[in-house]
Structure formats: structure tokens, C-alpha cells
Chains A and B, each alone.
Chain A
Amino acid sequence: MGYELIDHTGDLGLKIRSVDLKSLFCEAATALFDVISDLDLIEVREEREISVVGMDNEELLVAWLNELLYLHEVERLLFRDFKIIEIGEGKLKGTAGGEALREEYHIIKTAIKAVTYHQLEVRKENGGWSGRIIFDI
């Protein structure tokens, strides 16, 4: 997978790399649920449409991930399949596929309180895109 963990004393972070901006956002979401749970155990049984706004790509990335985290916490969903339909002009539209948490089956490895703006980065480099995010856990 296109990410590596950043070892932060209090919390945990991710560095993500991808070929384009849309797949960077998908990689980040996949990494988020890879940290939370075991991706291999998640099946795609339902899908949610997600729309968020943000001033720039960085804020959009945090908003997208925090929206997924919100659905995880309130509707107890685990996701593994992501698509970005459109991104630009301060808006993002995408979908997330997954299923409701089954307590006796799925595992929760890490509880994430929030995706923070600390040292946040989304940028074009070497013909691809890279991102950096720190979670509060």
C-alpha cells in the first residue's frame, strides 16, 4: 500500500504517495481504515456518498477523513473501498464502501479521535502527489 507510518510520540501519522490527487485521497482513506481495523476482514456491503468542502486540498483531505471517521463512530461503519468522483474548487465528492462493524468478527486496532491539521501537507512531487497527516489518538 502507498503509505508509511510516522512515529509521533503522542500520536500517529501517515505519509502517503500516489500518482494523482484523487488516488491520494483514496490511499489516505484506505490507510486510515488499515490503522483502525483489519482491511482483509471488511466486506463491501453498503456504500455512502460523501461531500465535503475546504479552502484547499489540505483542508479537503482532513475534512474527507474526518467525515469517514464520523460515519465510523456514529453509524459504526468500517470502509475499505473508496472513489473520488470530483475534487476541485473547494469541494470534494466521493463514495465509501464497507459494512457495519460486527463486534465478534472485526477487530479495532486503534481508536482515532480526529485527523488534525498539524504539519498537514498535500503536494505535487516527482510527477506524483504526496500527503502527510497526523491523527490524534
Chain B
Amino acid sequence: MRTDGMVYLDERMLNQIKQEQSLLQVKNVAHLPGIVGNSLGMPDIHWGYGFPIGGVAAFDLKKGIISPGGVGYDINCGVRLLRSGVERSEIRTRIKEIVDALFRNIPAGVGSRRKDLKLDEAQYRKVLLKGAEWAVKQGYGLGEDLEHIEEKGCIPGADPDLISQKAYERGRAQLGTLGSGNHFVEVGYVAEIYDQALASALGLSLDQVTVIVHTGSRGFGHQVCDDYIRVMLRAAEKYGIELPDKQLCCAPIQSPEGENYLAAMACAANFAFTNRQLITHWIRETFEQVMEIGPGKLQLQLVYDVCHNIAKIETHEVEGRKQRVCVHRKGATRSFAPNHPDIPAAYKKTGQPVLIPGDMGRCSYVLVGSQRAMRETFGSTCHGAGRVMSRHQAKKAARGRAVARELEDRGIYVRAASIATLVEEISEAYKDVSDVVEVVHAAGISKKVAKLKPMGVIKG
């Protein structure tokens, strides 16, 4: 090991993760060349493939590596939060109507595709180059949305010529779709506020209706990851990098292979930003149609949009001096402190909004970034609840239960493209997100602002 591992946990979590291999994965990451600081694990850590899910690692730009496995297959999987000018009481009786309409307007599920959005080659390349800005220019969303997206919705340096035909084909019909697994759109409300001043600065108030979108780069990103893992298996051999696990294959950041991956990854990240932007547009349209009110009253505004599977070139202070590093966040969220130059003007005083979705039956959290995260975790924090049950175990636990009905009894109306997904995503299959958030809050790597509770969910 070239450095230590450091994992943020409470005691119960530690006992849980000792039963799987995520700590070994933190250790494996600590073997990689050019790692700066510790190999980190967030409290939602669980066994991934290669890097642990909930893992953060930074690498020196000159001596360090970039690894597609440290980003994952769903490149720029992420979360965005919309706030509204509507209160919970105004939609309580219409939640089924809203969720049904969302389910009709946003394709979800395995291989879901969008028939009404046909991209020609030139447009497709612009999506990859420009990200969310392309969507806004086409009329999907508002100019002000861009300010409220990590990297303004576009990772620079994307090169569409580095994308395989296969990735183009897989992504073609999937732009503007939710996908399956743990991806969702959730209509909820602000249930609790922990810091009134911060909540006000983020435009959040008690009982206000909110919408969360959780999805990524779909088949496009999966193919980019697979294509470049194959490149990196050869690169690791070429550059003499020893791998404790093949999925950790990598290349020096400043090598043709490393640079090409970063440029291809940027394309997939921009695909994902565009995807979330398009879905946001259809959410706004759906609310306007069902509620029969205009955008002026609805005020569905973007609070923020964060990536949680990504590698970023950032400047951090390491042992007292500023250093450019490549931060891998695999199932981890950026958590930049107040006054950081990379966060929007509106949040300079609060710190960057951090969005942590829970499972479909419990709750989600809004936090803000902190100085402590800048010092300890390369400005990073957790990303969600983290699974404790395998999908197989979840199926067993849910056998004979009407999961949708159980949720409805608790006031959460769910529409899912597949019953299997619903069963695999039961609350018990996840850690309680409140425990995860408590750890990052107590450790000071982000600060709690508000808790959101679900009213209706669409799932893949």
C-alpha cells in the first residue's frame, strides 16, 4: 500500500461492512501509483467492482493514474433537485395523477427509449460537446438552469471522435430516458429544516414541493466504460502498472490512453447532464399540464445538479501547498466549501448544495459542502444510502409482499416499469440514509440543511 485507507463510519456500519469486501477494495485503491492523500471511503460504502462504491481517491497529475473503473459504468450518474412554488397540500389529492403523467412522459425501465427525440449526427455530437447547454438551446429548460449544475452542465475537453460506433448506437435512442435499477424521479416535500438560514439561501421552505431526478449516461456511458477498460488493460501492461484486480486497470493521466479516456468520459458526462436536463423539461411540462397552472406559479427551479460517478481535474491543498489532482468519485458527491471558485454565485456563502437521495420509502437530504471536506476528503462526501442486501436477498425478503401497496399505505405512490425492480429496491435493502448523513454531518465533511420526504415515485 502506498498510503492509508480512511473510511467514515459509525460502529454498526463497520460491523456490517466487515462482512463484505469493501475494505479490501479501499486497500486495493491505495496500491495505485501516484495516489495523493488517503484512499477514502464514505459511510455509504459497499462492495463494488474494482473501486468500492462510496470511494474517493485523488491522483497526482504527473505521477498518477486515471482508471475507468474508478468512475464506473454509469458515467456521471447523478442527482438534481428542483424546488417549486407549490405547497404539499396543493398536490396531495393529485399525486396519483401527477405520478401517472410523469410515468407516461418520461420513458423508464430496461432499454427504455424515446421515439420523439431523433438526433442527427451533428446534433448528437453537440450533445457530447456541450451537455446541458445544448438542451437549453433546443428549448429544453431555462438559461438559469445551467448556473445551477456542477460544471455548468458541461465537462470541458470532450472529444466525440474518441467515441466508438457502439457507444453512439447504444446511446442514440436512450437520451431523455430514466433507465432501470435505482434510477428514479421522485416528487416529495421539505419535511424538516435543520438550518433555517441555509435553507432560505437554497430557496427551500417547510412543506414546499420538490422533485428529485436520479439517472446517468445510460447505455452510452456503459459502452464508453467498457471500451476504455479494454484500452486500459493493455495500457497497464505497457506502463508496468501492477493491478490487484483487473477492474482497477488504468493508465498514467498524462499518457495518450489516459487523456483519451478523460475526453471520452467527458462526452458521456455531458450525455448524462443533457439527459437530466431533458427529463427536467418534461417534469415541468407534466406539472403544468396536470396542475393546469403556468410556469410563473409553478416555479419549478433547479436548486442544483451533482455528479456522483466521475473523475475531475481539480486544485486541492495537499500538505500546505496547492496541487492539481485527478479526483475519482465513485459513488461519492462533490462537497465544495463556501467561496470556492467553482460553485455558483448564489451559493458562494452557503457552500455547494449536496444532494443525497435515500431509498424510495424513507427520505432524502440536502446538505452543503464544507472546509473540512476540502481538507480531508478532496471536497467529497457520501452519495446515498448504500445497499446492505444483495438484490437476491431483497427478493427473498419481499416474497409474498405487495411492495407498491405497502408504500401507498405510507403515503408514497409508486409507478415502476418492472415489479422486479420495485422488489429489489425495498427500503430494508438499503442502509437508512439518515444514519449515513449523520456520519458525514458529524464528521463535518458536509452540513445538514433539510430533509425531504417522498410522496410519489417513478422507477425503471
Residue of B nearest to A13 (CB): B49
In the complex, what residues of A have CB within 8 A of residue B105's CB?
none
Is the Cβ of A108 less than 8 Å from the Cβ of B418? yes
Known contacts A72-B111, A118-B48; 11 additional CB pairs below 8 A are A8-B390, A9-B387, A9-B388, A10-B47, A12-B392, A59-B233, A74-B166, A114-B225, A118-B50, A134-B49, A137-B391
In the complex, what residues of A have CB within 8 A of residue B46's CB?
9-10
Is the Cβ of A113 less than 8 Å from the Cβ of B73? yes
**B111 interface neighbour in A55, A76, A134, Cβ under 8 Å:** A76
Contact flags B389-414 to A (C-beta < 8 A → 1, else 0): 11111000000000000000000000
Residue of B nearest to A67 (CB): B166
Closest-CB distance, B95 to chain A (whole angstroms) = 27
In the complex, what residues of A have CB within 8 A of residue B50's CB?
116-118
The CB with the most chain B CB atoms within 10 A, among A7, A109, A118, is that of A118
Q: How far is the CA of A70 from the CA of B387 in the complex (A)?
A: 27
Residue of B nearest to A70 (CB): B166
| Interface of chain A residues 101 through 131 with chain B (CB within 8 A) | 101, 108-111, 113-114, 116-120
Is the Cβ of B110 less than 8 Å from the Cβ of A111? yes
In the complex, what residues of B have CB within 8 A of residue A55's CB?
233-234
29 example contacts (A-B, Cβ-Cβ < 8 A) are as follows A5-B392, A7-B393, A9-B20, A9-B390, A10-B46, A10-B48, A10-B49, A10-B387, A10-B390, A11-B48, A63-B230, A72-B111, A74-B166, A108-B109, A108-B110, A111-B109, A111-B111, A113-B74, A113-B222, A114-B225, A117-B50, A117-B69, A117-B246, A118-B48, A118-B246, A119-B245, A136-B49, A136-B72, A136-B222
Q: Which 8 A-B pairs have the closest CB atoms?
A: A118-B49, A117-B246, A118-B247, A111-B180, A111-B110, A116-B49, A7-B390, A117-B247
Closest-CB distance, B97 to chain A (whole angstroms) = 25
- Residue A66 at the chain B interface, CB threshold 8 Å: yes
- Residue A46 at the chain B interface, CB threshold 8 Å: no
Interface size class of B (residues with CB under 8 A): 35 or more
In the complex, what residues of B have CB within 8 A of residue A12's CB?
390-392
Contacts A7-B390, A9-B46, A108-B418; A117 near B170 (Cβ below 8 A) = no
Q: How far is the CA of A134 from the CA of B179 in the complex (A)?
A: 20
Q: How far is the CA of A54 from the CA of B29 in the complex (A)?
A: 25
Closest-CB distance, A57 to chain B (whole angstroms) = 13
In the complex, what residues of A have CB within 8 A of residue B111's CB?
72-73, 76, 101, 108, 111
Q: How far is the CA of A106 from the CA of B111 in the complex (A)?
A: 14
Contacts A8-B390, A73-B170; A118 near B245 (Cβ below 8 A) = yes
In the complex, what residues of A have CB within 8 A of residue B234's CB?
55
- Residue A58 at the chain B interface, CB threshold 8 Å: yes
In the complex, what residues of B have CB within 8 A of residue A118's CB?
48-50, 69, 245-247
Is the Cβ of A70 less than 8 Å from the Cβ of B223? yes
Is the Cβ of B389 less than 8 Å from the Cβ of A117? no
Closest-CB distance, B20 to chain A (whole angstroms) = 5
Is the Cβ of B169 less than 8 Å from the Cβ of A117? no
- Residue B288 at the chain A interface, CB threshold 8 Å: no
In the complex, what residues of A have CB within 8 A of residue B109's CB?
108, 111
Is the Cβ of B169 less than 8 Å from the Cβ of A74? yes
Q: How far is the CA of A134 from the CA of B388 in the complex (A)?
A: 17
Contacts A11-B49, A55-B234, A58-B246; A114 near B222 (Cβ below 8 A) = yes
Q: How far is the CA of A118 from the CA of B49 in the complex (A)?
A: 5
The CB with the most chain B CB atoms within 10 A, among A8, A113, A119, A120, is that of A113
Q: How far is the CA of A7 from the CA of B110 in the complex (A)?
A: 21
Contact flags B79-111 to A (C-beta < 8 A → 1, else 0): 000000000000000000000000000000111
Is the Cβ of A117 less than 8 Å from the Cβ of B387? no
Q: How far is the CA of A11 from the CA of B22 in the complex (A)?
A: 13
- Residue B420 at the chain A interface, CB threshold 8 Å: yes
Residue of A nearest to B221 (CB): A113
In the complex, what residues of A have CB within 8 A of residue B338's CB?
none
In the complex, what residues of B have CB within 8 A of residue A110's CB?
391, 420
Residue of A nearest to B393 (CB): A7
In the complex, what residues of A have CB within 8 A of residue B391's CB?
12, 110, 137
Q: How far is the CA of A134 from the CA of B245 in the complex (A)?
A: 12
Closest-CB distance, B447 to chain A (whole angstroms) = 28
Residue of B nearest to A5 (CB): B392
Closest-CB distance, A78 to chain B (whole angstroms) = 11
Q: How far is the CA of A66 from the CA of B164 in the complex (A)?
A: 14
